[in-house]
C-alpha cells in the first residue's frame, strides 16, 4: 500500500544524503557572517546551512550538502518541498494575478479553500472559514470571534502550550524563554491551567488524564468562574511543548465541560493538522468536535496561509467588516493550498503518516530500551519525539539533547528540539520522505546516541 500511495508527484532532486563539507560549510559560514550584519540575532536558525533546493526528503545547501529533512520547516512541507503540483499551481496563479485583496475584489480559490476546510475539519455540522496569514493570526482571530459571540472575556490556555509570538498569542504561550522574556506586559484575561503530561504526572501516567482534567475544571470553576470564560485554546498534541499527547480522557473531559458551560473549544491544529498525526486532524483521535479550529503550517505546501474554521452560527455572528486583513487568503497561497490538499487526499498522506509512525516508534522504543537517557518515546503519525533525561530517569537533560542534535546535524540529518525544558528531540519528516531516507535518518540518530 505505502509504495503506491505516495510520491506520485515526487521531487526530481536526488533523494540521497550527501555530506561533502563540514556542516555548515564554508559558503554557508560566509553567508552567515553577512546575515549577522543585516539580521538581528533575535531571529535564530536551528542549523545555518543556506538552502538552494529542497524536495522529497532532502534539503540541499550552497556547499553541495544534501541533508535528510526530519523537520519539514516545522511541520509545513508535509507534501514535500516545492511539490511539483504546488509549484505548478503557484506559477500559473502568479502569471494571472498575485493580489487583489479578498476584501476588495474576491476570487474563487479563497472560497474553494474555505469549502475544503469546512469539509475536512472534524464534525459534519455546517461550517464557515476565514483565511489569514499565519498561525498566530488564526489564533488571534479565533479568540476575537469567541469573545464577540459569547460576550465573555476570559481565555483559558494550558501549561506547555504554544500559540505564537504576537502579543495575544505570546500571552497564551506558556514558555518564558525565548518567547515571552522581556516582551511584557501581556494581554489581559488569559488564564493557564494544568496539562495532562503523562511522562511528568506526579501520580503516574495511568492517572494523568482524569486527574489533570479534574484539576483544570476545578481551577477554571473556582478561579475564573465558568460563565466568565469565552474559550479554551488547546493543542490536541502539544507542538513546541515537546509533542506531549494529552493523556487519554483529558481532551474529551475538557470538551464536555466546555459544552456544559457555554465555553467555546478552540482546537489549535496549526502544527497537528493536515495529516501530520495520521489523522487529517489530531482531534479526530478521541472524537473531539471543536467549535473552532485554527490551521496553518501544513495547509499550503510551504506558502503562508492560515485559517479559522468554525460552526456557521458562531462564525456568521461577527458584523460585516469585523474580520479580514490585506494579505489574508492571498491567491498564490490559495492555489498552493488547493494543490497541497489534493496531494494529501489523492496520495493518501494520512496513511503515509501512520506508516511513518509505525516505522519510527519501534526503532525509538528499541533505542530507549538500551539507552536510559531516553526517558520517553511518544507522538502519533509523523509527529514523533523522544524526551531525554539524566540518570534518575526524570530530570530533563537539555545539554545531551543539544549534543545529539549537533551530532545529527554534522552527519547530515536535520532534527529539531522542543519542550519546556529543551530536552525533547522532535521528528517531523515530510510525509513523502522515501523509506530509505527515513531509515537512514534513524540510523544516524542511533549512531549519535552511541557516541
Ligand X SMILES: *Cc1c(COP(=O)(O)O)cnc(C)c1O
Which is nearer to ligand X, 162 or 355 (by Cβ)? 162
Which is nearer to ligand X, 136 or 193 (by Cβ)? 136
Residues between 9 and 48 with contacts to ligand X, criterion CB under 6 A? none
Nearest to 264 by CA among 160, 134, 118, 153: 153
Which is nearer to ligand X, 134 or 333 (by Cβ)? 134
Residue in the shown chain whose Cβ atom is closest to ligand X: 135
Q: Choose one: 120-128, 161-169, 372-380, 432-440; the region binding ligand X (CB under 6 A).
A: 161-169
Nearest to 169 by CA among 177, 160, 157: 157
Q: What is the DSSP pairing of strand 229-234 with strand 154-158?
A: parallel
163 binds ligand X (CB under 6 A): yes
Is 247 in contact with 204 (CB distance < 8 Å)? no
CA dist 233 and 291 (Å) reads 11
Which is nearer to ligand X, 135 or 412 (by Cβ)? 135
Q: Choose one: 16-24, 158-166, 204-212, 327-335; the region binding ligand X (CB under 6 A).
A: 158-166
Beta strands in 25-98 (DSSP E): 51-55, 58-61, 66-69
Residues between 285 and 314 with contacts to ligand X, criterion CB under 6 A? 296-297
CA dist 363 and 233 (Å) reads 33
Residue bearing cell 490551521: 295
CA dist 436 and 83 (Å) reads 19
CA dist 270 and 295 (Å) reads 4
Question: Smallest distance from the beta carbon of 281 to ligand X, in angstroms?
Answer: 12
Exactly one of 145, 229, 254, 270 binds ligand X (CB under 6 A); that residue is 270
Which is nearer to ligand X, 163 or 352 (by Cβ)? 163
Give the count of residues interacting with ligand X (CB under 6 A). Answer: 14
Which is nearer to ligand X, 174 or 437 (by Cβ)? 174
Radius of gyration of the chain (CA): 21
Residue bearing cell 531516553: 374
Cell (9 digits) for 225: 468562574
Question: Smallest distance from the beta carbon of 75 to ligand X, in angstroms?
Answer: 7
Question: Smallest distance from the beta carbon of 385 to ligand X, in angstroms?
Answer: 13
Cell (9 digits) for 221: 470553576
140 binds ligand X (CB under 6 A): no
Residues between 191 and 250 with contacts to ligand X, criterion CB under 6 A? 235, 239
**Inter-axis angle of helices 349-370 and 331-346, nearest 10:** 70
Q: What is the DSSP pairing of strand 127-132 with strand 306-311?
A: antiparallel
CA dist 189 and 155 (Å) reads 6
Question: Smallest distance from the beta carbon of 22 to ligand X, in angstroms?
Answer: 30
Which is nearer to ligand X, 241 or 412 (by Cβ)? 241
Q: Choose one: 38-46, 51-59, 157-165, 413-421; the region binding ligand X (CB under 6 A).
A: 157-165
Exactly one of 140, 268, 347, 440 binds ligand X (CB under 6 A); that residue is 268
Residues between 63 and 82 with contacts to ligand X, criterion CB under 6 A? none
Q: What share of the chain is helix, strand, coil (3-state, %, to 5)?
A: 40, 15, 45
Which is nearer to ligand X, 297 or 363 (by Cβ)? 297
DSSP class of residue 451 equals -
**Inter-axis angle of helices 398-410 and 435-450, nearest 10:** 130
CA dist 210 and 247 (Å) reads 8
Binding mask 100-139 for ligand X (x = CB under 6 A): ----------------------------------xxx--x
Which is nearer to ligand X, 71 or 412 (by Cβ)? 71
Exactly one of 73, 164, 310, 434 binds ligand X (CB under 6 A); that residue is 164
Binding region for ligand X (CB under 6 A): 134-136, 139, 162-164, 235, 239, 268, 270-271, 296-297
Amino acid at each position: 500500500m505505502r509504495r503506491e500511495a505516495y510520491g506520485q508527484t515526487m521531487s526530481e532532486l536526488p533523494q540521497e544524503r550527501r555530506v561533502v563539507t563540514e556542516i555548515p560549510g564554508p559558503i554557508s559560514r560566509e553567508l552567515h557572517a553577512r546575515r549577522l550584519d543585516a539580521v538581528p540575532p533575535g531571529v535564530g536558525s536551528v542549523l545555518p546551512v543556506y538552502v538552494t533546493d529542497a524536495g522529497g526528503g532532502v534539503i540541499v545547501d550552497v556547499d553541495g550538502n544534501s541533508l535528510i529533512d526530519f523537520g519539514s520547516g516545522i511541520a509545513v512541507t508535509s507534501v514535500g518541498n516545492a511539490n511539483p503540483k504546488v509549484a505548478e499551481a503557484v506559477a500559473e496563479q502568479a502569471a494571472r494575478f498575485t493580489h487583489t485583496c479578498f476584501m476588495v475584489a474576491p476570487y474563487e480559490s479563497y472560497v474553494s479553500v474555505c469549502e475544503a476546510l469546512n469539509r475536512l475539519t472534524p464534525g459534519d455540522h455546517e461550517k464557515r472559514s476565514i483565511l489569514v496569514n499565519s498561525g498566530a493570526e488564526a489564533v488571534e482571530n479565533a479568540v476575537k470571534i469567541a469573545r464577540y459571540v459569547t460576550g465573555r472575556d476570559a481565555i483559558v490556555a494550558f501549561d506547555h502550550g504554544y500559540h505564537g509570538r504576537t502579543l495575544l498569542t505570546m500571552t497564551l504561550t506558556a514558555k518564558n524563554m525565548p518567547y515571552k522574556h522581556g516582551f511584557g506586559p501581556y494581554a489581559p484575561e488569559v488564564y493557564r491551567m494544568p496539562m495532562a503530561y503523562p511522562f511528568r504526572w506526579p501520580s503516574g501516567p495511568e492517572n494523568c488524564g482524569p486527574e489533570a482534567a479534574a484539576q483544570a475544571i476545578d481551577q477554571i470553576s473556582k478561579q475564573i468562574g465558568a460563565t466568565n470564560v469565552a474559550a479554551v485554546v488547546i493543542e490536541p498534541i502539544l507542538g513546541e511543548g515537546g509533542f506531549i499527547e494529552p493523556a487519554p480522557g483529558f481532551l474529551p473531559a475538557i470538551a464536555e465541560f466546555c459544552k456544559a458551560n457555554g465555553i467555546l473549544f478552540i482546537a489549535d491544529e496549526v502544527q497537528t493538522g493536515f495529516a501530520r498525526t495520521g489523522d487529517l486532524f489530531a482531534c479526530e483521535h478521541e472524537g473531539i468536535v471543536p467549535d473552532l479550529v485554527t490551521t496553518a503550517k501544513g495547509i499550503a505546501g510551504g506558502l503562508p496561509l492560515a485559517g479559522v474554521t468554525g460552526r456557521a452560527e458562531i462564525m456568521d455572528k461577527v458584523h460585516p467588516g469585523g474580520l479580514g486583513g490585506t494579505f489574508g487568503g492571498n491567491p498564490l497561497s490559495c492555489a498552493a493550498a488547493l494543490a497541497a490538499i489534493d496531494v494529501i487526499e489523492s496520495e493518501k498522506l494520512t496513511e503515509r503518516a501512520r506508516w511513518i509512525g509505525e516505522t519510527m516508534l519501534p526503532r525509538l522504543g528499541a533505542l530507549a530500551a538500551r539507552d536510559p537517557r531516553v526517558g520517553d518515546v511518544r507522538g502519533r503519525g509523523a509527529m514523533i519525539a523522544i524526551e531525554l533525561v539524566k540518570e534518575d530517569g526524570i530530570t530533563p537533560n537539555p545539554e545531551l539533547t543539544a549534543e545529539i542534535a549537533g551530532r545529527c546535524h554534522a552527519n547530515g540529518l536535520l532534527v529539531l528540539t522542543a519542550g519546556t525544558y529543551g530536552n525533547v528531540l522532535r521528528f517531523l519528516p515530510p510525509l513523502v520522505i522515501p523509506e530509505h531516507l527515513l531509515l537512514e535518518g534513524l540510523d544516524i540518530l542511533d549512531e549519535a546516541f552511541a557516541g
